[in-house]
Amino acid sequence: MRLPPENLDGYRLLLLGEFYTLRYVNDRSVRLDSVENILYLPDKNPRERLVKWLKENAKRIFTEATAEKAREMDVEARSVSVTSARTRWGSCSQDNSIRYSFRLLYMKKELVEYVITHELAHIKHKNHSPAFWREVEKYVPDWREKRKRLKSMGAYMEVF
């Protein structure tokens, strides 16, 4: 993985585990071409526009996925928000508000699902006790391997 250069045109960015090539265009909106795996960025303020687009999409995707998984786990999150955190993929507060780093959007869907499950399990268990890990394991039997993979992806916390 290489960190993005100043000029993003041609940079390859991971989105849900798939590489997309960033291309500048003379347009005002960010557009995703999932057939050609190209993410078109406005040539004016491309970095700022990209981060805004990433945060908006992370919020939408993670909110929907959290609601779906919460129904499956029979828990209820108070709220879901997206942050710019660089040290953790997600967190669950005492009042069951869940936060995800927008950078989780770079990870494969199964790693995103693990993080969502992990945070929702904190609604039942506010710690990392054996009971907490048993709860996670009910929904993500291979959580140990996924946790290890996420830890190895820490460099992605530096991307944007």
Domains in the chain, CATH or no CATH each: 54-158 (3.30.2010.10)
Comparing CA positions, the residue from 12, 21, 61 lying closest to residue 40 is 21
What confidence category does residue 3 fall into, taking pLDDT thresholds of 50, 70 and 90? confident
**Residues 25-29: what's their mean pLDDT?**
92
Question: What pLDDT digit, counting tens, does each position of 96-140 carry?
Answer: 999 999 999 999 999 999 999 999 999 999 999 999 999 999 999
Q: What is the pLDDT of residue 145?
A: 98
pLDDT for residue 37 is more than 90: yes
Helices 143-152, 109-124: axis angle to 10 degrees equals: 110
Question: What pLDDT digit, counting tens, does each position of 76-98 carry?
Answer: 999 999 999 999 999 999 999 99
Distance (Å, whole) CA 67 – CA 18:
24
Distance (Å, whole) CA 59 – CA 96:
17
Say what the pTM is. 0.95
Q: What is the pLDDT of residue 84?
A: 97
- Which residues on adjacent β-strands are paired with residue 40? 23, 31
